């Protein structure tokens, strides 16, 4: 959410930003906010003047009564009553105006960074850099669900009977691989100086409102019926919510945190061949990075965060690239964002496995997360978040990039301690041969 003072003083800049995000339907909101803000300030000014006059005049009543000038005192009482009536009207109007302003401010997008490429949707995202050589073996790579099933490691039919579409059972080596990746990610981030946290998996609506846009909430969040609680779609939500209404000492920043959590998402509109298997699901687990810092440090941390994810995947011998998100692909609260994509030998292209975002002071403004500076004055913090790893989607990249011609899967040295020392996972049958026969 923008600072209303900034919008008041720079309406054309805000409108231009809206145009860059291809949200022209929101342009009228800027003028509406300005009009409501003018009215709200007039109401506040009049109310303040009336309170001052009421206090001044009220003091005269006692003095007049003491002098026996009851008639004059009664006139002033009538004047005070008139002040009180008008003041009551204004005090009733003030919160209504502020609520109308807030409704509009909550949907006006944040100002994007000057470096963000301009484009309408994700087709306009720009590749930044590649890390590792994207190879395609001389044998076919089966669909990831078929690879998992060759290890007896995936049961979506039973999950469908138990919970419906979009859920899964991981079994045996696949379940162990899933947990191993998360454990390795935890230690990887701790070794980089981040503090490990396990947060609440449910949050209240005021936290939801503080960490995401209404459109995102509707598309993602599961509401707990009859309670003011939502299941988190990512631990970023509860991690940032931890600092709601807090004033943080400047000396305590930056806060560099890494959190584990299950994540729950509606995933509206999922469809197509790549939506089968465990690519797009309602429940998954994730190791996240969160930073709360001073405004001047935010871009430095942005660079460090996405680099952490790149380094993590490269340590598992998975080729990746970074993709700069264009203006139209940025969620409303984001200043700048990039995706980390892993190489898929089967699809012969990259696919998203994580996202890094600088949200500026948008979340901090909504949640009132402030920093007490060395000068004793308070200012808003900046917040950032990034995915370290999110299995089981990450398992797709892992299995495809480590699948051997005999159907086995190699385990990189970095992960072997978390897999009981195993160097190779041996399947019950060769998924490559089975796929060939099916064709």
Residues 66, 207 within the same domain: no
Nearest 10 degrees: CA dihedral of 43, 47, 49, 51? 180
Asked if 151 and 425 touch (Cβ cutoff 8 Å), the reply is yes
Q: Is residue 100 part of a domain?
A: yes
Number of alpha carbons in the 13 Å side-chain half-sphere of residue 338: 25
Q: Are strands 202-203 and 222-223 parallel, antiparallel or unpaired?
A: unpaired
Whether the predicted model's global pTM rises above the 0.85 cut:
yes
| Calpha distance 147→407 (Å, rounded) | 8
Q: What is the pLDDT of residue 268?
A: 57
Residues annotated within a binding site for L-serine: 234, 265, 288, 385
Which residues sit opposite 230 in a β-bridge?
203, 223
In 3D, which of 298, 311, 302 has the Cα closest to residue 191? 311
Half-sphere exposure of 76 (CA within 13 A, CB side): 18
Angle between helices 393-402 and 173-191 (to 10 degrees): 100
54 with 171, same domain: the answer is: no
Annotation: binding site = 234, 265-267, 288, 352-355, 385
Q: Residues 325, 126: contact at Cβ < 8 Å?
A: no
- Return the pLDDT at 274: 45
Task: Note whether 102 and 127 are same-domain residues.
Answer: no
Whose tokens are 């079994």? That residue is 171
Q: Which of 107, 137, 169 is the last residue of a domain?
A: 107
In order of 155, 156, 158, 159, 168, the CA distances from 162 in angstroms are 11, 10, 6, 5, 9
Q: Are residues 409 and 287 in the same domain?
A: yes
Structure letter (DSSP) for residue 171: -
Question: Could you tell me if 162 and 296 lie in one domain?
Answer: yes
Q: CA dist 71 to 55, 63, 80, 94, 322, Å? A: 20, 13, 14, 35, 81
d(Cα 262, Cα 378) in Å, to the nearest integer?
34
Tell me which of 107, 136, 165 is where a domain ends. 107
Strand 370-372 with 247-249, pairing: parallel
- What 8-state DSSP symbol labels residue 418? G
Binding residues for ATP: 265-267, 352-355
Query: Do 369 and 225 sit in the same domain of this protein?
Result: yes
C-alpha to C-alpha distance for 299 and 128, rounded to whole angstroms: 16
Q: What is the CATH number of the domain that holds 151?
A: 3.30.930.10
Query: Exposed/middle/buried for 390, CB within 10 Å: 0-12, 13-18, 19+?
Result: buried
Number of domains forming the structure of the chain: 2
The pLDDT, as a whole number, for residue 292 is 98
CATH number for the domain that contains residue 48: 1.10.287.40
Alpha-carbon span 108 to 373, nearest angstrom? 28
Task: Print the domain residue range for 362.
Answer: 122-436
Angle between helices 11-20 and 27-66 (to 10 degrees): 150
**Three-class DSSP category at 387:** strand
Q: What is the pLDDT along the chain (439 residues), one digit of tens a residue?
A: 899 999 999 999 999 999 999 999 999 999 999 999 999 999 999 888 888 877 777 666 655 565 666 667 667 777 777 778 888 889 899 999 999 999 999 999 999 999 999 999 999 999 999 999 999 999 999 999 999 999 999 999 999 999 988 899 999 999 999 999 999 999 999 999 999 999 999 999 999 999 987 777 777 899 999 999 999 999 999 999 999 999 999 999 999 999 999 999 987 545 443 456 898 889 999 999 999 999 999 999 999 999 999 999 999 999 999 999 999 999 999 999 999 999 999 999 999 999 999 999 999 999 999 999 988 999 999 999 999 999 988 999 999 999 999 999 999 999 999 999 999 999 999 999 877 665 5
| Cα 135 to Cα 397: distance, rounded to the nearest angstrom | 12
The answer to whether residues 75 and 181 belong to one domain is no
pLDDT of residue 272: 45
- 117 domain residue, yes or no: no
| Sequence-ordered list of residues with C-beta below 8 angstroms from that of 238, at least 6 positions apart, any chain | 199, 200, 201, 202, 203, 207, 232, 261
- Check whether residue 314 and residue 419 sit in a common domain: yes
Encode 396-411: b = buried (16+ Cβ within 10 Å), e = exposed: bbbbbbbbeeebbbeb
Residue 378 lies in a domain: yes
CA distance 414 to 381: 36
Structural domain includes residue 425: yes
DSSP of 68-119 = T-HHHHHHHHHHHHHHHHHHHHHHHHHHHHHHHHHHHHTTSPPPPPTTSPP-
Whether residues 221 and 302 share a domain: the answer is yes
Domain membership flag for residue 116: no
Domain stops at, among 82, 107, 132: 107
The Cβ-side half-sphere exposure at 161, using a 13 Å CA radius, reads 4
Residue pair 174/148 in contact by the 8 Å Cβ criterion: yes
Q: Is residue 10 part of a domain?
A: yes
Taking CA atoms, 412 is separated from 284, 390, 416, in Å, by 23, 18, 6
> What pLDDT sits at residue 151?
97
Asked, for residue 115, whether it belongs to a domain, the answer is: no
Do 132 and 81 share a structural domain? no
The full DSSP string for 318-374 is --EEEEEPPGGGS-TT-SEEEEEEEEETTTTEEEEEEEEEE-TTHHHHHHT-EEE-T
How many beta carbons lie within 10 A of that of residue 344, not counting itself?
20
pLDDT for 271:
44
Handedness of CA 402, 403, 406, 410 (dihedral sign): positive
Query: What are the angstrom distances between the C-alpha of 38 and each of 11, 95, 169?
Result: 14, 14, 57
Q: Is residue 405 part of a domain?
A: yes
Q: Looking at the structure, tell me whether residues 293 and 359 fall in a common domain.
A: yes
Q: Is the same domain home to 226 and 79? A: no
CB 320 within 8 A of CB 132: yes
């Amino acid at each position: 959410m923008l600072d209303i003072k900034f919008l008041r003083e720079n309406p054309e800049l805000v409108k231009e930003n809206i145009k860059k995000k291809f949200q022209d339907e929101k342009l009228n909101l800027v003028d509406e906010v300005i009009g409501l803000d003018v009215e709200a300030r007039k109401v506040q000014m009049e109310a303040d003047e009336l309170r001052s006059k009421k206090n001044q005049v009220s003091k005269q009543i006692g003095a007049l009564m003491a002098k026996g000038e009851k008639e004059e005192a009664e006139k002033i009482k009538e004047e005070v009553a008139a002040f009180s009536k008008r003041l009551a009207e204004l005090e009733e109007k003030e919160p209504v105006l502020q609520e109308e302003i807030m409704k509009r401010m909550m949907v006006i997008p944040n100002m994007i960074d000057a470096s963000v490429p301009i484009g309408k949707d994700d087709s306009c995202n720009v590749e930044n850099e590649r890390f590792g050589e994207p190879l395609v073996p001389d044998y076919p790579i089966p669909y990831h669900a078929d690879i998992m099933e060759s290890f007896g490691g995936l049961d979506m039919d039973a999950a469908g009977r138990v919970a419906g579409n979009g859920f899964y059972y991981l079994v045996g080596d696949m379940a162990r691989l899933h947990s191993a990746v998360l454990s390795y990610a935890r230690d990887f981030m701790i070794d980089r100086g981040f503090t490990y946290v396990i947060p609440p998996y449910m949050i209240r609506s005021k936290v939801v409102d503080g960490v995401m846009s209404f459109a995102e909430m509707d598309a993602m969040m599961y509401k707990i019926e009859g309670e003011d609680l939502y299941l988190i779609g990512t631990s970023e939500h509860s991690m940032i919510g931890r600092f709601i209404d807090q004033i943080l000492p400047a000396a305590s920043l930056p806060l560099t945190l890494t959190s584990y959590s299950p994540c729950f998402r509606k995933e509206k509109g999922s469809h197509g061949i790549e939506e089968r298997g465990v690519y797009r699901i309602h429940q998954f687990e994730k190791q996240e990075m969160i930073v709360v810092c001073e405004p001047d440090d935010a871009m430095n941390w942005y660079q460090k965060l996405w680099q952490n994810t790149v380094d993590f995947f490269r340590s598992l011998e998975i080729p990746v690239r970074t993709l700069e998100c264009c203006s139209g692909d940025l969620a409303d609260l984001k200043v700048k964002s990039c995706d980390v994509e892993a190489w898929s030998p089967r699809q012969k292209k990259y696919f998203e496995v994580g996202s890094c975002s600088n949200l500026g002071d948008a979340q901090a403004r909504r949640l009132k997360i402030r920093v007490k500076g060395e000068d004793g004055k308070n200012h808003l913090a900046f917040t950032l978040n990034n995915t370290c790893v999110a299995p089981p989607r990450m398992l797709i990249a892992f299995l495809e990039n480590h699948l051997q011609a005999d159907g086995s899967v190699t385990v990189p040295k970095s992960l072997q301690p978390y897999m009981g020392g195993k160097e190779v996972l041996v399947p019950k049958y060769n998924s490559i041969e089975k796929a060939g026969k099916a064709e």
